[in-house]
Chains A and B, each alone.
Chain A
Amino acid sequence: MTGVISEQITACAGVMESTEVGYAARGYHFMHRAEAGSMPTVATLFCAGGFHLEMLTCVDVREETGAFRLVYQFNKYEAHERHLIHAEVQPGAKGTSISGVFAGADWYEREVFDMYGVDFEGHPDMKRILMDEDCVGHPLRKDFADQDSRREEMVSGE
Chain B
Amino acid sequence: MTHAAAVMRSPAGRELGAGVYNEKLGIWVFLGSEVMFFTALIGSYIILRFANPGAFAHPGTVLNIPVTATNTFLLICSSVTMVKAFAAANMGDMAKMKLYLVATTLIGAAFVGVQIYEYTHLIHAGFLPSGIREGSELAELAAAGELGLGTADPAVAGVYGSSFYTMTGFHGFHVTCGVVCLAYLSINAFRGKYTQADHRGIEVVGLYWHFVDLVWIILFTIVYLV
Q: Do A and B bind each other?
A: no
**Interface residues, chain B, CB within 8 Å of chain A?**
none
